[in-house]
Amino acid sequence: MRSEAAPQPGDLERFVSAGKGRGLRARRRYAVGELLFSCPAYASVLTVSERGSHCDGCFARKEDLSKCGRCKQAFYCNVECQKEDWPMHKLECSAMCTFGQSWNPSETVRLTARILAKQKTNPERTQSEKLLAVKEFESHLDKLDNEKRELIQNDIAALHHFYSKHLEYPDNDALVVLFAQVNCNGFTIEDEELSHLGSAIFPDVALMNHSCCPNVIVTYKGTLAEVRAVKEIEPGEEVFTSYIDLLYPTEDRNDRLRDSYFFNCDCRECVTKDKDKEKLEIRELNVPPSAQAVWDMIKYARNVIEEFRRAKHYKYILYHLFTGFLNYFIPPSELLEICELSLDKMGALFEDSNVYMLHMMYQAMGVCLYVQDWEGALRYGQKIIRPYSKHYPSYSLNVASMWLKLGRLYMTLENRTAGVKALKKAIAIMEVAHGKDHPYISEIKKELEDH
């Protein structure tokens, strides 16, 4: 298949966006599915749990990777990948040998260490910084509360503890700024099923502002970020991506934006709140629930979601397969029971299409996948997919990922007709979001051929 044409210099420009600061603007028309630009990672780090299945250098998913002869914990496609990654891997290699099982810096600390090393060895502007330099990143330092500042100080302490041999540290104030910049501008690299692969810095991608009705989507080809149009974009139009999961209602989305990025969104979706009623759908009951009863249930649902999110933030999770479900060191059977009890309680008022119900179904599906209860996972996935298709924007990776999971489950359960249909729906979205020549699409098409 012929590769798409490379974007031309000057097709996009940095500009001052009213009320938003810096932004990115199109200088020509872009069609749906067209590549606006790509950006190699300025720095990237593979998550520890994916070591052995993905190359630590290029993030390629392969079998029979070669391991680092010294630490035996980093894996590579070949000698070339290993040599290219050595300036970054050497930050950790000897430390992993020294600390053994006690080597456990957070992913944010690991990524920040690599940024410091990159700034030392490559002080000039890189290919990742054509429009925005790392040193220009917003830190929002003045908006950090005491809890966030304490977390940063903990990360700084870990940086000093685990990275003493190959790093030269700036002073504490400069490190606070850098960690704040990474927290606001870092990216999570995910695979085709949205499982977490690692973290990275993509400066030019970070230039884009947020909208809850974005006109582009960011996907990854290894450690290369690619930005494609999911709506037609006209000359002079600002390019918007989404910083957050768009499933949730307006108030929840803006709570998340304020907490992580320190602003409120004023996009059309947030101003009109058009989708909120459907996203918060209430059951038709003989006696309609009071407004207070509905509000109390919403608060309960938000608390459940925050518990899962907080666990992820503080690294209490380790098990993740397919959906990356959260495990508070509780046996899967008990975790599934927690999900089901939450669903029973919320289901007294909420329709199954209510986004809070969908959130808990997604977690339950993840548990079923982990314990290889394929029928149970399929039952949850079948309940999730249609509301997802209604609540998410067109060409959503969340919808594509769910069709993909369903297709693979159907194939596992030997329902080829339903499997082919689901996988083709996933491909249709991914060809726009990822580009028709993406390796993930080739892999899925091979799955179809093999079955």
pLDDT in tens, the chain (451 residues): 445 666 666 799 999 999 999 999 999 999 999 999 999 999 999 999 999 999 999 999 999 999 999 999 999 999 999 999 999 999 999 999 999 989 999 999 999 999 999 999 999 999 999 999 999 999 999 999 999 999 999 999 999 999 988 899 999 999 999 999 999 999 999 999 999 999 999 999 999 999 999 999 999 999 999 999 999 999 999 999 999 999 999 999 999 999 999 999 999 999 999 999 999 999 999 999 999 999 999 999 999 877 765 644 443 333 333 334 444 456 788 888 888 999 999 999 999 999 999 999 999 999 999 999 999 999 999 999 999 999 999 999 999 999 999 999 999 999 999 999 999 999 999 999 999 999 999 999 999 998 7
Query: Which strands form 186-190's sheet, in the order they lie side by side?
Result: 43-46, 196-201, 186-190
Q: Which amino acid is at 265?
A: C
Eight-state DSSP code of residue 91: H
- In this prediction, residue 1 carries a pLDDT of 43
Contacts of 412 (CB under 8 A, 6+ apart): 374
The tokens 């992993």 sit on which residue? Answer: 96
Q: Is 279 within 8 Å of 351 (Cβ atoms)? A: no
Q: What is the pLDDT of residue 325?
A: 44
Sign of the Cα pseudo-torsion (281, 283, 289, 292, in order) = negative
Q: How far is CA 136 from the centre of its chain?
A: 23
Compute the residue count for the chain.
451
Q: Token pair for residue 78?
A: 């070949």
Predicted local confidence at residue 318, as pLDDT? 37
Give 3-state DSSP helix, strand, coil % of the chain, rounded to 5: 50, 15, 35
What is the spatial order of strands in the sheet that 216-221 belongs to?
Answer: 35-40, 224-229, 216-221
Q: Rounded distance, CA 46 to CA 261, Å?
A: 24
Q: Which of 407, 409, 438, 434 is nearest to 421 (CA)?
A: 407
**Are the CB atoms for 367 and 335 separated by under 8 Å?**
yes
Paired strand residues for 26: 12
| pLDDT for residue 329 | 54
- Predicted TM-score (pTM) of the model is 0.92
**Residue/partner pairs of 183-190 with CB below 8 Å, 24 or more apart:** 183/108, 183/148, 183/152, 183/260, 184/137, 184/138, 184/139, 184/140, 184/260, 184/261, 184/262, 185/137, 185/138, 186/108, 186/111, 187/218, 187/225, 189/44, 189/59, 189/220, 189/223, 190/220, 190/397
Specify the DSSP element, H or E, that contains 121: helix 107-121
Going from the C-alpha of 423 to that of each of 216, 254, 378, the distances in angstroms are: 23, 33, 14
In 3D, which of 4, 451, 34 has the Cα closest to residue 239? 34
Nearest to 163 by CA among 215, 231, 219, 117: 117
Q: How confident is the model at residue 321, as a pLDDT?
A: 34
DSSP 36: E
Rounded Cα gap, residues 70 and 162, in angstroms: 17
What is d(CA 446, CA 424) in angstroms, rounded to the nearest whole number? 12
Which amino acid, one-letter code, is at 325?
Answer: F
Instruction: Give me the domains of the chain, ranges plus CATH numbers.
Output: 12-241 (2.170.270.10), 257-450 (1.25.40.10)
Interatomic CA distance for residues 427 and 73, integer angstroms:
34
Predicted local distance difference test score (pLDDT) of residue 306:
79
